[in-house]
Amino acid sequence: MAEKFDVKLSEKYYMPDPSYKQNSWLGDYQKAYNDFLKDPDGFWDRVAQELHWFTPYTKVKEWNYPYARWFTGGKTNITYNCLDRNVANGRRNKVALIWRGEDGTERIYTYRQLYREVQRVANGLKKLGVTKGDRVCIYMPMVPEQIISMLACARIGAVHSVVFGGFGAAALNSRINGAEAKVVITADVTYRRGKSIPYKRVIEEAIINAPSVEYVVVLRRELDQPVEIHSEMEVDFYDLIKDVSQECEPAVMDSEDPLFILYTSGSTGAPKGIVHTCGGYMVGTYYTTKYVFDIKENDVYWCTADPGWITGHSYVVYGPLAMGATIIMTEGTPDFPDPSIWWRMVEEFGVTILYTAPTAIRMFMKLGEEWPNKCNLSTLRILGSVGEPLNPEAFEWYYRVIGKKSCPIVDTWWQTETGMQMVTTMVGEPMIPGFAGKGIPGVIADVVNKEGKPVKPGTGGFLVIREPWPSMLRTVYKDDERYRKYWNTIPGCYAVGDLAVKNAAGYIMVLGRADDLIVVAGHNIGTAEVESALVSHQAVAEAAVIGKPDAMKGNIIKAFVILRLTHSPSDRLKKELLYHVRITLGPIAMPSEIEFVQSLPKTRSGKIMRRVLKAKELGMDPGDISTLEE
């Protein structure tokens, strides 16, 4: 790939090999985008026609601001498209899922085997009295049964609410009660760094005051020391599916029937139960998986996310399986038993598409290139990133060390609420480090001021989406008021809550959450920008920045910095870092204080919780910290 400097773009950019564009599903981005703009409904209709509908929809979209309905009248089942269709269409013996445990154990499911297992678990759930519309909470480690349980719910029309396994009892209890789950599916333990971590014990505590729960299904993994099954409420996973049929007809779901609820933290208050529906979510995730990752029949696709997050829902489970892809899943941590484990997996399984988070990339940067360099990564052809801004330094490292300067990087911006990827640089298009890219065909993304007017290139503003899209959230479970807020904050737009800036070529750089904005002496400064500047110094592994109230300036900037192992803290280094920010970002963005730290408070999805840092700094209550890791 060529490295170029372009006057129009005014940034350094990378041009992928032309073969990527020639061979992609998308072809020319601009042409695809124009096709969409000319006839948005026709565009989505063509995508939806690639999937199976029991009864065809009569309308592609009905839009009554701020409520959208997609593929109305259509009847389908997402598992039919993920399983039956692939089994029938020549992928019966294709590998659907390769799972690898921390100790190296492998379990492999072909499409036929996965299909069979899903139907058995679906029949098991039916035995417990679960019917269409009932909510089932899934609190499981990253094992095949986690995916199978999700699909089993969808098979019978039950609404799953997956809770990430790292959440504690109180967070779990509020999510179970929020969704009024009838059944909870869990496991005895997960394995982490060679130790077993209990799950069932957390559930036992979490269901004490959860009146909706009738059964807890327990997957027992520790066969030497099986946990006790308390028969009043609990059911053994294997017992449940022992004598059931391998066939379970898919429930006929209306497009607009709910498929799942997924809780996500709001900037204030209780977590929000984001509701996604069957038809639109299916079309949106299928479409983006196909076009953004450009998945082909022989790809080996690995998204490292836990299905407990939206990334796992959309890009471990539903999108890739609807595409009939081979997916990889691992329960292990990226640096155990040593930091080469991921790269050995890429080599062993011949991974071609890797989708991960900037926080993981920066961790590997810190640990050193020698680990990936030991492995043969030549099968990789496309790299992806999601969850937070991929700062230019992390981009360059990912591009050079992992992609060997020949893999396009798709930095995908989206949210739990959007269900699918929204902004990225499509494979084959020029990539600009630090910029996610443009709206994918089907999505109208813009950067605007408070009134909803587009801001000039180079001026910061609010990232918004202008028109409804198929996989948008339909409501916040039992709190529609909070749903309407997304559409009522900025006139005519869906306000995503992020700050962004566009360049002259229309590429969008996401700066971070609007609530992470620091106003210093009347100037808006995005924490992400300052952090990115700090991280671009060779001594810095990771940085987090907060605003501290100041009588003179309104706020001053305080930075918390983790150094690379090759450097140690000193006053001299602090001065160097200040100088570096001054030169790269300008004096206005210079921190007033720098503190060297060993770790930063993060959510389990890897986002730095600046709020927690700030509360600690100011001696205040940090508020809800249920999403804090460890």
Positions in the binding site for ligand WT7 (CB under 6 A)? 264, 310-311, 386-389, 411-416, 436, 496-498, 510, 513, 605
Nearer to ligand WT7, 294 or 498 (CB): 498
Nearer to ligand WT7, 277 or 603 (CB): 603
Nearer to ligand WT7, 330 or 605 (CB): 605
Least Å distance, CB 461 to ligand WT7, is: 15
Least Å distance, CB 264 to ligand WT7, is: 5
Nearer to ligand WT7, 379 or 415 (CB): 415
**Cβ distance 263 to 161 under 8 Å?**
yes
Helix (H, G, I), strand (E, B) or coil at 579: helix
Helix (H, G, I), strand (E, B) or coil at 102: coil
Nearer to ligand WT7, 607 or 614 (CB): 607
Contacts of 485 (CB under 8 A, 6+ apart): none
Nearer to ligand WT7, 74 or 384 (CB): 384
Identify which of 51, 47, 17 has the alpha carbon closest to the alpha carbon of residue 35.
47
What is the DSSP-derived secondary structure letter of residue 471?
T
Least Å distance, CB 516 to ligand WT7, is: 9
Q: Do the bridges between strand 326-330 and strand 517-520 make them parallel or antiparallel, or are there none, so unpaired? A: unpaired
d(CA 158, CA 144): 19
Helix (H, G, I), strand (E, B) or coil at 608: strand
Least Å distance, CB 497 to ligand WT7, is: 6
Residue located via tokens 């028109």: 467
Partnered with residue 276 across adjacent β-strands are 260
Nearer to ligand WT7, 96 or 310 (CB): 310
**Cβ distance 577 to 561 under 8 Å?**
yes
Identify which of 168, 4, 318 has the alpha carbon closest to the alpha carbon of residue 627.
168
Residue located via tokens 């099968």: 379
Least Å distance, CB 278 to ligand WT7, is: 20
Least Å distance, CB 500 to ligand WT7, is: 9
**Cβ distance 386 to 355 under 8 Å?**
yes
Least Å distance, CB 228 to ligand WT7, is: 36
Residue 214 has a CB neighbour count (10 Å cut-off) of 14
Least Å distance, CB 314 to ligand WT7, is: 8
Identify which of 436, 337, 450 has the alpha carbon closest to the alpha carbon of residue 390.
436
Least Å distance, CB 415 to ligand WT7, is: 4
**Cβ distance 203 to 172 under 8 Å?**
yes
Nearer to ligand WT7, 171 or 556 (CB): 171
Residue located via tokens 């929809």: 57
Nearer to ligand WT7, 20 or 414 (CB): 414
Least Å distance, CB 223 to ligand WT7, is: 35
Least Å distance, CB 576 to ligand WT7, is: 28
Which residue type sits at 106? E
Residue 625 has a CB neighbour count (10 Å cut-off) of 14
Helix (H, G, I), strand (E, B) or coil at 136: strand
Identify which of 551, 590, 554, 588 has the alpha carbon closest to the alpha carbon of residue 574.
590
- Structure tokens belonging to residue 301: 């696709």
Identify which of 23, 11, 52 has the alpha carbon closest to the alpha carbon of residue 382.
23
Least Å distance, CB 345 to ligand WT7, is: 22
- Structure tokens belonging to residue 82: 């993920």
Identify which of 117, 156, 114 has the alpha carbon closest to the alpha carbon of residue 136.
156
Nearer to ligand WT7, 325 or 508 (CB): 508
d(CA 338, CA 368): 12
Least Å distance, CB 436 to ligand WT7, is: 5
Q: Do the bridges between strand 593-596 and strand 554-563 make them parallel or antiparallel, or are there none, so unpaired? A: parallel
- Structure tokens belonging to residue 234: 């609990």
Contacts of 290 (CB under 8 A, 6+ apart): 25, 319, 323
Q: Which residue is nearest to ligand WT7 (CB)?
A: 416
- Structure tokens belonging to residue 354: 């890797």
Least Å distance, CB 603 to ligand WT7, is: 8
Least Å distance, CB 412 to ligand WT7, is: 5
Helix (H, G, I), strand (E, B) or coil at 271: coil
> What is the maximum alpha-carbon separation in the chain?
73
Nearer to ligand WT7, 203 or 361 (CB): 361
Indicate the burial class of 66 (C-beta count within 10 angstroms; 0-12, 13-18, 19 or more): middle
Nearer to ligand WT7, 255 or 475 (CB): 475
Partnered with residue 546 across adjacent β-strands are 558
Residue 177 CA, chain-centre distance (Å), reads: 24
Nearer to ligand WT7, 123 or 418 (CB): 418
- Structure tokens belonging to residue 107: 């379990």
Helix (H, G, I), strand (E, B) or coil at 117: helix
Helix (H, G, I), strand (E, B) or coil at 514: helix
Partnered with residue 205 across adjacent β-strands are none
Least Å distance, CB 510 to ligand WT7, is: 4
Nearer to ligand WT7, 253 or 496 (CB): 496
Nearer to ligand WT7, 280 or 389 (CB): 389
